[in-house]
Structure 1
């Protein structure tokens, strides 16, 4: 029974491809039969490009659009379902969604959506979807916003988005980042704290029907969509209609990319493991790489633990790790009359920052951390000491460690993936006069080596699983004594100065945000958990 149905679908698809243009013209004639309404516009070939939309004087106007194919440069919904499946569900759920690509192309529009929704959401916890919608999806939406579509949206006073994807996937981003007034999308059935993977009684949202129901006799001022038949019906119900051409939707079109400095809201924090947009081909490449990546990560960890610094760097470089070191360590010959160690102050990108610095300097360092998993402590090739977040106790601990040797500290208190520096704690400035700022940055192509809501013990492994991870280290040189507390500066002045110095070296923007702000935004807590969990 299944095989005949598949063959029937395949035949239907071929027939559609051969006669698509003629069928579309016939559908237009049927739809336009009779007396046309005065606000109906010419058919898609006559609809102007979004670049022709006049932006001035639009504050009293209403714009309607879809996020896919309208606001985003690509109308493909698969990567965003994959993000939910992988980040909110599991690797098994993501693999099943990838397998569905083998037959999705023979299904019709509505059935494709139903299959993807079922695989992605069946048994998924509601709180996990909320976490993905808040901390993962916004990054990918912002990176794929169409510049011209965003400008049109921002110029209007009222904005309503209609989309066939589940509302929970887009509503948070649209309202928080784009100030959209209302979002109409497909509604999902839930059972307790879980999604069932089934649609509500209203079924899959059809944009043109939803628009008529929402506005009634009123006519929206601007409609934005693509030249597809679905969007043709949708935007034809507006006073003005504009389309986003295929050329504008290509992800590599530089003219349609929204620059970071034009983001409606700065993207400072985001979570999740995937560092790429998981298109079907990119996702397949990831699954093929994972077994190889695990072996390479174990090898990179092993050479760091058991081999001398120079040999470890050479072997790690042979596996694709790119370590770039700039600047000279001027503290090799100690001149400190108190015979105390040097305090290295680093920007914080991953848990490996102290290890990479120790390797770059080719000398052992001690790293202080607020909370570290047992696994990370075991695989760390350098000494690690936990702090308690009690300022007085931590000060004594760091003083003692400095009397024993060189110490590395990351005063941001947590990692940040984007080109921003969080507020520096001033405690380190009170403890040492010999301070060396170190600018650290990373670049990954497949997996992020940090997480706010996942398992912290896997952070180093995920980073080292990347095919060609990059670590950039710049040693800025010892801070002059007159700029330290010994020179009359307050600890806050020293901390702020070093933050600005490191920000300038990396081209990062300094902020006053803290670890608490990050975890409240990404995980809904303050990032402090009991010792037995060790997840912050």
Structure 2
């Protein structure tokens, strides 16, 4: 019984296969990469990725584009899907995932969520072959809207053909178009006629794949052993710097079930953790750290030389802590690292939710973002009264990159202390660019079973490395960006906050102050 279930799970949403079919073509590792730039390649989308099932990618659309209730319904349908034919499985999946889904919501998921998970599941052997040719064609029976953006923007695919969905106004109906599910062999003949692709790649045990690649001049197959190797992020065809969505894991059936079972416990845990944050001003830092540790949070708080952090320039009473930005909770953990409540800490923000203001343990001051002179005056006033923490990136970044720093801070003081921040979660991301209910960002972060936070407070910037010491404001900003990247093992990028929101949300990220911040 167990082996039967395992077999069905592995083949869910894969084309029909023949158990007696023997490989007729050489393995993909036998392919000669040289001299292929004038040739054309064709493959199915499922051949490009290592995942044996498209269920997790439908779940991502259901959860991130729809709602948690749609995702739960999709999970409930899973046992039924196991006993359906492949064609009926896919149609049921499409209906549950897309019925009533807004086109705009699907576009956001396609652009900002799915590429991360496709890249993490990209088959490195197949991609080597894919990148060696001059022209690429991808066919798939899954909806084209789920793969089109990724294939064209990250893999430079020339032509993408997939199942088309019915649309009514600005919504999907949940049904496929009158053309039905895409049939690879027929579509390839219609597209290419007599000029068929030079190279075809397929899975050795999938009959539909073997039927497709038999039309090509050369054909190669992907075996089970080729699914084991993962592609390191350093070899991605395009760097993954920005992505969005709540889920930090690939939602396979088992992983999704674990998430739903965890939710009641996660909610209680989040209430406990948020209560600790709200009480932080009244509790000793050591007690707060102990309580967070008991809640399953791992912290690495390191201050290089606390005694060196003192005013020296005479331009103000306070010290400016310049940090890279991982989450809205960064300032609270900086307070724990400094372990000094005798020096109040203020953070400048661009508008945050009322709930965040209630639970944060430090003073928040809004900046306009549009008026540099006015913002500079506010910052100088804060520094004349005490210490200040700033995030020159202007937004959070999830991946191991540090965005380009705004240089405003460098012209305001020479008492600058760089702070390297890092955050790792396993289930939910605590910040989104275009997600619903951004007011719940803190709740989602606190619901993670495991949270790792590191805060490394570095040595204060030497006077000769500041504006007062002869450096330009841009040199100071770039120098600190590089210091933090080196400390964290991250990479520097010239991309800014505006680039993030144009990529993820199709806007500049500026929202009314009552709507909550963009992080």
Q: TM-score, normalised by structure 2?
A: 0.92
**1:164 Cα deviation (Å)?**
0.6
| Superposed CA offset, 1:435-492 (max 9, x none) | 1000001111111111100233222221111111100111111111111111121211
The match for 1:325 is 301
Q: Secondary structure at the match of 2:468?
A: helix
| Bigger shift: residues 116-125 or 460-469 | 460-469
User: Structure 1 residues 215 and 24, CA, compared in 2 at 3 Å: closer, same or farther?
Assistant: farther
Distance 2:276 2:176 in 1: 51
Runs of 4+ off more than 4 Å: 21-25
Mapped pair 1:433 → 2:414:
yes
Distance 1:347 1:314 in 2: 25
| Bigger shift: residues 121-130 or 229-238 | 229-238
Corresponding residue pairs, total: 496
Distance 1:23 1:385 in 2: 65
The match for 1:268 is 241
User: Structure 1 residues 341 and 47, CA, compared in 2 at 3 Å: closer, same or farther?
Assistant: same
The match for 1:40 is none
Q: Secondary structure at the match of 1:296?
A: helix
Mapped pair 1:64 → 2:42:
yes
**1:508 Cα deviation (Å)?**
1.2
Q: Give the alignment partner of residue 355 of structure 2, picking from 362, 367, 375.
A: 375
- Write the mapping of 1:321-470 to structure 2, written as runs, cut at 5 A: 321-331=297-307, 334-336=310-312, 337=314, 340-362=317-339, 363=341, 364-389=344-369, 390-454=371-435, 455-470=437-452
Q: Give the alignment partner of residue 531 of structure 1, picking from 495, 513, 517.
A: 513
Q: Secondary structure at the match of 1:485?
A: coil
RMSD: 1.9
Distance 1:464 1:285 in 2: 17
The match for 1:89 is 66
Distance 1:388 1:44 in 2: 66
| Superposed CA offset, 1:342-362 (max 9, x none) | 111111000011111012212
Distance 1:51 1:75 in 2: 19
Distance 1:509 1:526 in 2: 23
Q: TM-score, normalised by structure 1?
A: 0.89
Q: Secondary structure at the match of 2:514?
A: coil
The answer as to whether partners of 2:138 and 2:159 remain within 8 angstroms in 1 is yes
| Bigger shift: residues 428-437 or 518-527 | 428-437
Mapped pair 1:308 → 2:284:
yes
The answer as to whether partners of 1:55 and 1:155 remain within 8 angstroms in 2 is yes
The match for 1:37 is none
Q: Secondary structure at the match of 2:381?
A: helix
Q: Secondary structure at the match of 1:231?
A: helix
| Superposed CA offset, 1:260-283 (max 9, x none) | 222111111100011111000000
Q: Give the alignment partner of residue 299 of structure 1, picking from 272, 278, 287.
A: 272
Point out where structure 2 has 5 or more consecutive residues left out of the alignment: none
User: Structure 1 residues 110 and 486, CA, compared in 2 at 3 Å: closer, same or farther?
Assistant: same
Distance 1:292 1:344 in 2: 36
Q: Give the alignment partner of residue 477 of structure 2, picking from 475, 495, 507.
A: 495
**1:24 Cα deviation (Å)?**
6.0
The match for 1:29 is none
- Write the mapping of 1:17-416 to structure 2, written as runs, cut at 5 A: 44-68=22-46, 70-227=47-204, 228-249=206-227, 253=228, 256-306=229-279, 307-331=283-307, 334-336=310-312, 337=314, 340-362=317-339, 363=341, 364-389=344-369, 390-416=371-397
Q: Give the alignment partner of residue 506 of structure 1, picking from 474, 488, 491.
A: 488
| Bigger shift: residues 186-195 or 442-451 | 442-451
**1:57 Cα deviation (Å)?**
1.2
The answer as to whether partners of 2:100 and 2:172 remain within 8 angstroms in 1 is yes
Distance 1:75 1:324 in 2: 37
**1:47 Cα deviation (Å)?**
1.4
The answer as to whether partners of 2:302 and 2:337 remain within 8 angstroms in 1 is no
The answer as to whether partners of 1:81 and 1:116 remain within 8 angstroms in 2 is yes
The answer as to whether partners of 1:437 and 1:502 remain within 8 angstroms in 2 is yes
Q: Secondary structure at the match of 1:384?
A: strand
The answer as to whether partners of 1:330 and 1:478 remain within 8 angstroms in 2 is no
**1:232 Cα deviation (Å)?**
1.8
Distance 1:334 1:53 in 2: 62
The match for 1:39 is none
The answer as to whether partners of 1:347 and 1:411 remain within 8 angstroms in 2 is yes
The answer as to whether partners of 2:17 and 2:208 remain within 8 angstroms in 1 is no
The answer as to whether partners of 2:311 and 2:415 remain within 8 angstroms in 1 is no
Q: Secondary structure at the match of 2:398?
A: coil
**1:52 Cα deviation (Å)?**
0.6
Whichever of the two has the greater Rg, that structure is: 1
